Structures are given as C-alpha cells and as structure tokens.
Structure 1
Amino acid sequence: MELNQIIDTIYPLSATSQHKIKEYITETKLPKGHLLFKANTVETSIYFIKKGIARAYAYSEENQITFWLGKEGDPIVSMQSYVTNQKGYEDVELLEDCELYELKIDQLQKLFLEDIQIANWGRKFAEFELIKSEERLIALQFNTATQRYLALLKNHPSIIQRVQLSHVASYLGITQVSLSRIRANIK
C-alpha cells in the first residue's frame, strides 16, 4: 500500500503537511521471521506495512498469545512506547518478507509541535488504535469463537489465507483444534 494512501486513511493532510511528514519516513525491507519489536524495550519507531503481514504477541505462562495481526496499510506500534515512552510488553514478528515505512517517534513528536494538521493526524492515529483495541476486547468478551472467526473471515480474508492457523487460533482466543472444528462446520 502506498504511503499517501496510508496517511490519508488516518487523517487527510494538506500537501505541505504531507510533504513534511514524508521527509521523516524511510522505507525498509525485512525478512520473514524478523522480530521488529521486543518486549521490555522502549520502541523508538512506528511502522506502516507497505507489503507483508505481521503479528504481535505476548507470553503467558506456557505459550505465546497472538493479540494482533496486521497487513498492508496497518500500523505497527507499541502504544506504550508511543504514548508514554515506556517499555512495551509485546514482541512483533514479521510473518512474511515485509516492506515497511518507518517513522521515528521523536521526529513525529517534533512535527506535532510545528504543524497542527500533523498533530491532529497523530491524535486521529491514536484514536483509531484505541477504537480497534476496544472493538477487539468487546468481541472477545461477547462474541462466540465462531462469530469471531466469521468476522475475521469477512473483514480480513487475506489473514486467514496468509497466517498459520496456530496464530489465527491464538488471535481468536481458542485452540487450534477448536478452530479446525469451526472451519469444518462452516464448510
């Protein structure tokens, strides 16, 4: 996904403001399996996925719990680091070879002080991330596993096709065996 499209999806900027923010964005390519973020680290960048797919996970006592899956156009951000400049709790793994746009948080913070449109863009960015987290929490609390799977299938079919079923099951809050049963019942 192209950078202009990603920026405008969050909050449309004037050509001048868009040019300012793009001056601080670099492109990077990283391989499948790369750990982009590591838990207990203050992350200094946010990323936007140009091409590829990633997951965020944390450890429970016995295994990894995938709580976020991202694809083209999605941001990769440790909100703990972005908002409070504190250590994040998540690891972020690239599940495919990825092309990413990188923006240093400290440079973005400076732009917030210089340009009200970019400050509003940053506010909208944080608001959208909050809404996504809230929707996810509500779905986990109130929807059945089948409903969560069907919603993922409807809203993000490419994730089902591109991500290992073990990660999808973890993301849905179920076992891989339960996911297999749900998939069999739907077919």
Structure 2
Amino acid sequence: MDLDQIIDNIGKLPEPSKNALKEIISEVTHPKGHILFRADKVETKVYFIKKGIVRAYTELADNEITFWFGREGDTVVSMKSYVSNQRGYENIELLEECELYEVRKRALHELFCKDIHIANWGREFAEKELLKTEERFIGRQFKTSLERYRDLMNHTPDLLQRVQLGYIASYLGITQVSLSRIRAKFR
C-alpha cells in the first residue's frame, strides 16, 4: 500500500505537514520469519506495512498465542513502548517477506512538538489503534470461535490463504482440529 494512502487513512494532513512526516519515514525490507519486535524490549520504531503480512504473538511455557495479524496498510507498533516507553509484551514475526515504512518514535514525537497538524494526526493514530485493540478484545471475550472465524472470512478473507492454519487456530483460541470442523461448516 502506498505511503500517502496509509497516512491519509489515519488522518488528513495539509500537504506541507504530510511532506514533513514523509521525510522522516524510510522504506525497509525484511525476509519471511524475521522477528521485527521482541517481547520484553522497549521498541523505538513504528512501522506501516507496504506489502506483506505479520503476526503478533506472546510465548507461554508450552506454546505461542497469536493475537493479531497485520497486512498491507496496517500499523505495527508496540503501544506500551510507544505510549509509556516501557517494554512491550509482544513478538512481531513476518509471515511473508515484508516491505515496510519505518519511522523512529523520537523523530515522530519531535514533529508532534513542531506541527499541530502532525500532533493531531498522531492523536488520531493512537485513537485508531486503541479502537482496534478494543474490538479484538471484545470479539475474543464475547464471540464464539465460529463467529470469530466468520468475521475473518468477511473482513480479511485473504488471511485464510496467506496464514498457516495453526496461527489462525491460535488466533481464534481453538485447536487445529476445531478449526477444521468450523471450516467444514462453511464449505
């Protein structure tokens, strides 16, 4: 996804402000399997996905729990690091080779102090990330695995072709056997 589209999806900026923001953003590419963020580390960068797919997960003693997928146009951020400069709890793994837009948190915060439009854009960014987190939490708490699978099919059907079924099952909070049964209902 184009950088202008990503910026505009977060919030509209006057052209000079948008150009100032774009000046501090660079493009990077990482291979499939690369760990972009590591749990228990303060992350100093924010990424926007130009091309590719990522997953956020946490490690338990005997397994990993996938709790989020990001794809083209999505933001990759450790909100705990971004907001409070504390160690994050998530690992971010690239499930495909990814082209990313990268911005250093410090440079972004410096722009917030210089340009009210960019500061407001940053507020909109944080608000939208909060809403996404809230929606994931509510879906996890109040929807059945069947309803969560249906949501995936309706809102992000490409995930079902691009992501390993084990990760999808973990995201839904079920076993792969249960996922197979659910998938059979939709055939």
Q: TM-score, normalised by structure 1?
A: 0.99
Of 166-175 and 99-108, more deviation after overlay is shown by 166-175
Aligned twin of 1:82: 82
Shift of 1:60: 2.0
Shift of 1:174: 1.1
Aligned twin of 2:132: 132
**Matched position secondary structure for 1:99:** strand
Distance 1:181 1:131 in 2: 31
Distance 1:25 1:61 in 2: 37
Shift of 1:61: 2.6
Distance 1:122 1:174 in 2: 36
- Is 2:57 the counterpart of 1:57? yes
Shift of 1:173: 1.1
State the percentage of identical aligned residues: 59
Runs of 4+ in 1 over 6 A off after TM superposition: none
- Is 2:150 the counterpart of 1:160? no
Instruction: State the Cα RMSD in Å.
Output: 0.6
Distance 1:19 1:175 in 2: 47
Aligned twin of 2:66: 66
Distance 1:173 1:124 in 2: 30
Q: TM-score, normalised by structure 2?
A: 0.99
Distance 2:62 2:125 in 1: 33
Shift of 1:125: 0.6
The gaps in structure 1 that reach 5 residues or longer are none
Aligned twin of 1:108: 108
Distance 2:63 2:120 in 1: 39
C-alpha offsets along residues 95-134 of structure 1, whole Å, 9 cap, x if unaligned?
A: 0000000000000000111111111111111111111111
Shift of 1:172: 1.0
The gaps in structure 2 that reach 5 residues or longer are none
Distance 1:82 1:175 in 2: 33
